[in-house]
Amino acid sequence: MPKGVLQRRRSIIPGFGLTMGITIFALSVIVLIPLSAVFVTTAGMSFDEFVAAALSKRALSAYRLSFGAAAVAAAVNAVFGLLTAWVLVRYEFTGKRVVSALVDLPFALPTAVAGIALTALYAPNGWIGRWLAPLGVDIAFTPRGVVVALIFVGLPFVVRTVEPVLADLGADVEEAAATLGASRRQTFVRVILPAIAPALVTGCALAFARAVGEYGSVIFIAGNMPFRSEIAPLLIVVQLEQFNTAGATAIAATMLVISFALLFAINLLQVWQRRLRSA
Amino acid sequence: MRRIAFLVAGLGLLMSNGVGAATLSLLNASYDPTRELYREINPAFAQAWKARTGDDVTINQSHGGSGKQARSVIDGLEADVVTLALAYDIDNIARRAKLLPANWQTRLPANATPYYSTVVFLVRKGNPKAIRDWDDLARKGVKVITPNPKTSGGARWNFLAAWGYGQKTYGSPAAAEAFVKRVFANVPVLDSGARGATVNFAERGLGDVLVTWENEALLATRELGADRFEIIMPSVSIRAEPPVALVDKVVDKRGTRAVAEAYLQFLYSAPAQEIAAAKGYRPRDPAVLARYRARFPRVPLFEIDRNFGGWTKAHKLFFSDGGVFDRIYAGDE
């Protein structure tokens, strides 16, 4: 953007001033002002206090778990979400609408319900947990449980962003690739994947972002042991529980900055990739 | 379309209830385990108030973690009365939002706690791990379930009871800290709230012993089956006092001082004390307590003010950042 963000490029569609004004106003009220309140609250702290609250060893291990588990969950969802989208777009089968509705369920379900249900399933005496426990694999009350919960809440993001792109792609592209002698593998890797990659990355980024801040479902399955299975949002709640709003916002601000940096990087990556392809 | 029509109609009904009718209403902001208690006390009070004044009164309940409720009141939730798990939380409402005077705890009898409880152990039927006292919680191979004292008011009572036992038995604060460290090494999961810990112990089959309020243990045996659990009373425990208070600024603004004061005093009356005892809280009324003696065995109790110098001091020492609780986990880095 060479001339500044708000610079208007000549467009035949009128109403730029009005729509931009509304956009900025809405963004400010809904996103920017609440977020800036976080930073204003931390501004009341001295630098040392901020570092003590936001960068304590316990907080660092919580960030590691929150961002690490969210990344693993996003990666798992990239594979299974793509597969699910593929099945929903390319095949006709009875009950397809039901499956499609099921995919959206994690959007609608209160996350606490999801957490309780997953804990009941994966606890050592649960339906799934009781088969895994003898093998020495504990899911509930370990960091693995955190990943399971985050996969659950993140799945629809990947499916719903990839699905329309996949549908647009159409079977004719694949047929063309096949007539030109491409193997199935080549068709997937060189034709389909590049076309849906931006959507896939967006979906993963959304799933990741959602997972980083997830509290409701994780809290039941995590076990919440300091330095082991304690997520960063829990530390925020711990600080609030001590009426230490500044400490809580210090951790929140740190998470915000990391999340923003990661999402911004992903966006840049996509822009770069798009340029590479159109060049 | 029809659903929207219903919604609008429902909303209209709600609003006409609040504005039109001449009935009084109170909001009681309480903590989690008191749901069952106030569900019975509130209608009893409404009846008594109607008999005395002829006015109708509805009491709305809000439940949540004690600290969270206190924060909501500080942030503007218009609760006429607060009935929370710890004096510390009400102290904070007084200190931070100045909604009630600092001496609120002296305005009602018995530290402003109409009922109290203590910390007991819930074990599985037959007590397979032979858990009798706090020492057994520190034994190798025993799994202890207790919520996180950083997020749960109830868990702070558990922690202080264990620490008090450690100090009484082993002599020094340092030895007491080493003792609770051994106990917490046996804790596989730190739930964020007391109810969550109960569910993990009772439903998920986690752990050998649940450290919990007596009222929660009584509720668990009543609701989930007396044939599955046993309550073990340790040799010494703590007097867990969940206090109640009038929020002066709110009642003066809403004009509900008289009824709110009567409501809190009603909690000390014989009928309310009877309900509290039936729900597993130890009543203050000696006559009611005598009738429920079999359920509430005598046990020496530590007290927060006498043994720990009050909540503000105890909180700073044990549960603030870098306090005793953080220290016992610091070795795990």
CATH code of residue A170: 1.10.3720.10
Residue B230, token pair as written in the block: 């046993």
Which residue, among B248, B284, B246, has the nearest Cα to B29 in the 3D structure? B246
Average pLDDT over residues B119-133: 95
Residue B24, token pair as written in the block: 């009084």
Rounded Cα distance, A209 and A29, in Å: 21
Task: Please state the domain count of chain A.
Answer: 1
Closest Cβ opposite residue A119 in set B192, B204, B333: B204
Average pLDDT over residues B281-304: 94
Rounded Cα distance, B72 and B85, in Å: 15
pLDDT of residue B321: 85
Taking the Cβ of residue B92 and every Cβ of chain A, the question of whether any pair is shorter than 8 Å is answered with: yes
Q: In the beta sheet, which residues pair with residue B246? A: B81
Closest Cβ opposite residue A226 in set B96, B204, B329: B329
Residue A8 lies in a domain: no
Residue A62 lies in a domain: yes
Rounded Cα distance, B94 and B87, in Å: 11
CB atoms within 10 A of CB A186: 13
Residue A142 lies in a domain: yes
Domains of chain B by residue range: 2-113+241-268, 116-239+298-330
Query: Does the model's ipTM exceed the 0.85 cut?
Result: no
Average pLDDT in chain A = 88
pLDDT of residue A6: 55
pTM attached to this predicted model: 0.80
Cβ proximity of B40 and B48 under 8 Å: no
Which residue, among A210, A220, A205, has the nearest Cα to A265 in the 3D structure? A205
Residue A29 lies in a domain: no
State the burial class of residue B322 (Cβ atoms within 10 Å of its Cβ: 0-12, 13-18, 19+). Answer: exposed
| Range(s) of the domain holding residue A106 | 46-278
Residue A202 lies in a domain: yes
Instruction: Check CB contact under 8 Å for A224 and B192.
Output: yes
Rounded Cα distance, A24 and A50, in Å: 31
Q: Which residues of A touch B71 (CB under 8 A)?
A: 240, 243
The CATH classification number of B2-113+241-268 equals 3.40.190.10
| Equal CATH topology for B2-113+241-268 and B116-239+298-330 | yes
Tell the CATH superfamily of the B116-239+298-330 domain. Answer: Periplasmic binding protein-like II (3.40.190.10)
pLDDT beyond 50 at B42: yes
pLDDT per position as a tens digit, B176-201: 999 999 999 999 999 888 888 988 89
Rounded Cα distance, A262 and A208, in Å: 10
Q: Which residues of A touch B206 (CB under 8 A)?
A: 123-124, 141
- The letter for the amino acid at B105 is Q
Residue A106 lies in a domain: yes
Rounded Cα distance, B304 and B287, in Å: 25
Q: What is the DSSP string of A109-121?
A: S-HHHHHHHHHHH
Residue A183 lies in a domain: yes
Instruction: Check CB contact under 8 Å for A223 and B190.
Output: yes
The residues, any chain, with a CB within 8 Å of residue B200's CB and separated by 6 or more, are: A123, B145, B189, B191, B206, B207
pLDDT of residue B331: 66
